[in-house]
Amino acid sequence: MNGKYSSYLDNLIKKLSSLPGIGPKSASRLAFHILKMHPDEVTGLSRAITDLKENIRTCGVCGGISEGEVCGICVDPSRDRSMVCVVEDARDILIIESTGGFKGLYHSLNGLLSPLDGIGPEDLSITGLVERCRSGGVSEIILALNPTMEGDATSLYLARVIAGTGVRVTRIAHGLPVGADLEFADGATIAKSIEGRVSM
Amino acid sequence: MNGKYSSYLDNLIKKLSSLPGIGPKSASRLAFHILKMHPDEVTGLSRAITDLKENIRTCGVCGGISEGEVCGICVDPSRDRSMVCVVEDARDILIIESTGGFKGLYHSLNGLLSPLDGIGPEDLSITGLVERCRSGGVSEIILALNPTMEGDATSLYLARVIAGTGVRVTRIAHGLPVGADLEFADGATIAKSIEGRVSM
């Protein structure tokens, strides 16, 4: 390693290692895989990276990713415009979309409240959300933030802020995952699932 | 997902998912990370990928990776030219080099014998290895192949082929990893470590 072997290899391994979830060993495996790939495939991968960065921007309405001024979901006439699902970031929109179970609109906060990291309400896309509530047409805000300390704090904050607009605020259910076993669930999850019980 | 959201995003996620060790979820996480990176960093990553592919070739002597006709290790006058360490592929050279414990030369077979996959001796860089043995100057061949069925079969085959050249053939030791506990070692490893015992 240490620069002597090939600066091109060292450079790519260093760059790949800086990506989330990729350590030096995976980076080295990837670099050697790239060496074995067909040149056209390598060019394709390299192009796909720059293409993404150059062509994707933030949707002016929901804060999700978009190829134009406003994203495909926000302009889709078949979506239910009365429900807005609030998520932590744009990636969560894709995750919920992939389930196909939600037909409303989205709003990405682009983060969560975290006083310890100095992230306050003004750092998140909260003003835009309140404006969407006030502009009419929205009857329910569904908070779909992760059940962490920051997620819960942000949910509570939003519920209070949105209450003033008269729009109903709900939160996605927290409980036992489908297929899970009570025996292996943690206490907090079991407590949440009892607290959030529904009649049958 | 399903193409409707952004073709650029779908394209990159598909290409990243095809890399070893990267599933659809990691690919999506990486793509969103790339969206958040500085444009210069993104260009740098994209360039590093094509630069590697365009500038790296196979060393004409050892089969490792090289920026020129012959790699930096093969031309390094400080290396011990009497020992050649035989590895499965170019990446293993980097792994051994990173330990700094070996100062001889290398030879990459570019694979292992695997009759089930139709890989025979003619598919590996064995002729080149035998030539290096015959050309004089080499006194020991160290086989550093993984202790798998294919690795062991290839080691046995090479030992027989190289025996004819009069060069000594050794194999790296297989046994208990440093820091490991007998209690958790598998039977085959313990058997190998007893078989390969050394006097103190």
pLDDT in tens, A83-105: 999 999 999 999 898 888 899 99
Percent of chain B with pLDDT over 70: 98
Instruction: Answer yes or no: do B34 and A52 touch at CB < 8 A.
Output: yes
Interface test with A, best of B22, B28, B49, B57 (most A CBs within 10 A): B49
What's the rounded mean pLDDT across residues A4-21? 91
pTM of the model: 0.81
Average pLDDT over residues B61-83: 94
pLDDT classification of B4: cutoffs 50, 70, 90: low
Contact A53, B42 (CB under 8 A): yes
- Nearest chain B alpha carbon to A48: B12
From residue A154, alpha-carbon distances to A83, A110, A117 in Å are 19, 12, 14
Of A181-190, B66-75, B108-117, B166-175, give the lowest mean pLDDT range.
A181-190
Checking if the pLDDT of B80 tops 80, the result is yes
Contacts of A91 in chain B (CB under 8 A): 28-29, 32
Q: Mean pLDDT lowest for which of A11-25, A57-71, A111-125, B174-188?
A: B174-188
CB contacts of A72 in chain B (<8 Å) are 4-6
The pLDDT score that the predictor gives to residue A1 is 39
- CA dist A21 and A23 (Å) reads 6
- pLDDT for residue A6: 85
Amino acid identity, position A78: S
| pLDDT tens by residue, A104-129 | 999 999 999 999 999 999 999 999 99
pLDDT at A27: 95
Q: How far apart are CA B39 and CA A50, in angstroms?
A: 8
Contact between chains at A9 and B47 (C-beta distance less than 8 A): no
The complex's ipTM works out to 0.82
Over range B42-66, report the average pLDDT. 95
Query: Which residue among B35, B47, B67 sits closest to A52, beta carbon to beta carbon?
Result: B35
If you average pLDDT over every residue of chain A, what do you get? Answer: 91
pLDDT of residue B1: 39
| Spatial CA neighbour of A8 closest among B48, B45, B122, B169 | B48
A4: pLDDT confidence band, cut at 50, 70 and 90? low
Q: Which residues of A touch B11 (CB under 8 A)?
A: 48, 51-52
**Minimal Cα–Cα distance from A5 to chain B, Å?**
6
